[in-house]
Amino acid sequence: MLARSHISQGRVILVEHPVVILPAGVKLDASIIVLDEFESQDEPCGAQFLRLNSQVKKKVLTLKDCSATTNASTLAGIFATNALDIKLQVDGGGLRSQEQKYKALFLKTSRCNHSCGPNAVWRFDRLTFTLSLSAVRDIYPGEEITISYINPFLPRHVRRTQLQSKWNFLCHCMHCDVPWTFPGAIAQSDKARHELSTFFKKLPDWEQWCFDEESEHDLIEMHLRAMRMREKEGLEGFRGSGTAGSSRDVAYMKHIDALVMCYGAIADDKEFRKWVNKAREVKLAEGLYSTAHVNVLDMWLREPRKFYVWGWKSII
């Protein structure tokens, strides 16, 4: 999938509903060959496939089956290759509901190739039953839109092994195909990814940093350094679990929000405005649902001293 025009960081690229959805543990019959005359009502994936309209069926059949050894793809192979992991609330009996894992097939997002430093992340909204794909950094015309199929914080050799095992390809993204002329680059990248995977878990408490004069932590520099590392590794969209959550959980927004808090606390007008403007750019790109957030950011730009922690650290 290629970008036709410039896509700003934070912008929603597409929104779509799943066309097939099954419980994660369901075993599919890998012997069923995908044919126009497909008639298996008993096979769970096939039963849902039969209910699709003819146009959607044709689009499903064009998806890749990485397990196919010949030109004859199977419906099970297509589903296993392209389905994404989602979670739904199901009736657990009585008044309680419980979270259950499912596999869902999406026609557009399933066409995105993998990168260990993807420029887009997806999230599934259980309320609207839709997937949204968003840019985690600026994407330019002609650039491929990529997602991560696996946990990108894993070491390179583990990532490549998982991708080869499940999707039958050796990853040659720019983060895996490190030239031999850069000795130690792979180990350095693995170390950086491991550090980023635990960054937010090990982060010092903001209030402790703000009110403790003897705090040894430079919280601002910690966030700036992490942002530089994320940019180099292409991990702007991942906090540490390897999967994307809601837009407010995307890593780069966590860093931006923290820097707004820190610069506001030390009453640094210039840097505060810089990061509020950055947050504003992202929220504008996200669209209509962020209007209220943008209005608050505009107020802080007009009157920084109305920011709720303005100057807290500087008065200690």
For residue 162, tell me if it sits in a domain.
no
pLDDT per position as a tens digit, 204-229: 889 989 988 777 679 999 999 999 99
For residue 111, tell me if it sits in a domain.
yes
pLDDT per position as a tens digit, 113-125: 999 999 999 999 9
For residue 7, tell me if it sits in a domain.
no
For residue 165, tell me if it sits in a domain.
no
5's tokens = 């025009």
d(CA 160, CA 316) in angstroms, rounded, equals 50
Q: Which residues pair with 90 in a beta bridge?
A: 98
C-beta of residue 206 within 8 angstroms of C-beta of residue 219 = yes
Enter the pTM of the model: 0.85
For residue 167, tell me if it sits in a domain.
no
For residue 271, tell me if it sits in a domain.
yes
Do 211 and 145 lie in one domain? The reply is no
d(CA 214, CA 181) in angstroms, rounded, equals 44
Do 215 and 147 lie in one domain? The reply is no
Do 114 and 205 lie in one domain? The reply is no
Phi, psi of 175 (to 5 degrees): -90, -15
Q: Residues near 245 by Cβ (< 8 Å), separated by ≥ 6?
A: 123, 239
Q: Tell the residue number behind the tokens 């990061």, with chain if given.
A: 275
For residue 96, tell me if it sits in a domain.
yes
The separation between the first and the last C-alpha atoms of the chain, rounded to the nearest angstrom, is: 53
- Pairing type for strands 146-147 and 113-114 reads parallel
For residue 225, tell me if it sits in a domain.
yes
What is the number of structural domains in the chain? 2
Do 204 and 76 lie in one domain? The reply is no
Do 146 and 70 lie in one domain? The reply is yes
Do 44 and 144 lie in one domain? The reply is yes
Do 267 and 202 lie in one domain? The reply is yes
* Residue pLDDT tens, the chain, 316 long: 999 999 999 899 999 999 988 888 776 655 444 444 444 444 566 677 778 888 988 898 899 998 876 666 788 889 889 999 999 887 766 566 788 899 999 999 999 999 999 999 999 998 899 999 999 999 999 999 999 999 999 999 999 999 999 999 999 999 998 876 677 899 999 999 999 999 999 898 899 899 887 776 799 999 999 999 999 999 998 876 555 444 446 889 999 999 999 999 999 999 999 999 999 998 888 876 678 899 999 999 999 999 999 999 876 5
Domain holding 136, by residue range, is 12-151
109's tokens = 């997002």
Alpha helices in 181-234 (DSSP H): 185-197, 199-202, 206-211, 219-233
d(CA 253, CA 11) in angstroms, rounded, equals 13
Do 145 and 26 lie in one domain? The reply is yes
